[in-house]
A and B are shown apart, each in its own frame.
Chain A
Amino acid sequence: MPDDFVIAIASGKGGTGKTTIATNLAHYAARLGQKVQYLDCDVEEPNGHIFLKPKIDRSQQVTIDIPQVDLEKCIGCGKCGEICQYSAIICIKENVLTFEQLCHSCGGCMRVCPADAIKPKPLNIGDIELGKAGDINFVQGKLCIGYVRTPSLIKEVKKHIKQDCLAIIDVPPGTSCPVVEAVKGADFVLLVTEPTPFGLNDLKLAVDLTREMNLPFAVVINRYDIGNDDVEKYCEAENIDVIMRLPDDRRIAEIYSTGQMIVDVLGEYKQPFSKLCEYLDTLKVKLNEKR
Chain B
Amino acid sequence: MKIAVTSTGRTLDSQVDPRFGRAACFIVVDTETMDFSVIENESVAAAGGAGISSAKVVIDAGAEAVLTGNCGPNAERTLTAGGVKLYTGATGTVAEAVELFKSGKLTQASGPNVEPHFGMDK
Contacts and interface: CB of A to CB of B under 8 A. Distances in A.
22 contacts: A81-B56, A86-B47, A86-B48, A87-B46, A87-B48, A87-B49, A87-B52, A87-B53, A87-B74, A88-B49, A90-B53, A90-B78, A92-B55, A92-B56, A92-B78, A92-B82, A93-B59, A95-B81, A97-B52, A97-B81, A102-B52, A102-B74
Contacts of B81: 92-93, 95, 97
A102 B59 contact: no
B2 interface: no
Contacts of A90: 52-53, 56, 78
A53 B49 CA distance: 40
B42 to A, nearest CB: 12
Interface of A: 81, 84-88, 90, 92-93, 95, 97, 99, 102
Interface string B36-74: 000000000011111011011001000000000000001
Q: Which 7 A-B pairs have the closest CB atoms?
A: A87-B49, A87-B52, A92-B81, A92-B82, A87-B53, A86-B49, A86-B48
Contacts of B111: none
Contacts of B85: none
Contacts of A86: 47-49
A85 B55 CA distance: 15
A95 B79 CA distance: 12
Contacts, number: 41
Contacts of B47: 85-86
B62 to A, nearest CB: 12
Contacts of A85: 47
Contact size class for B? 10 to 19
Given A86-B47, A87-B49, A93-B82, A99 B74 contact: yes
A86 B53 CA distance: 9
B10 interface: no
A251 B92 CA distance: 57
B49 to A, nearest CB: 3
Nearest to A84: B49
A106 to B, nearest CB: 13
Nearest to A88: B49
B77 A97 contact: yes
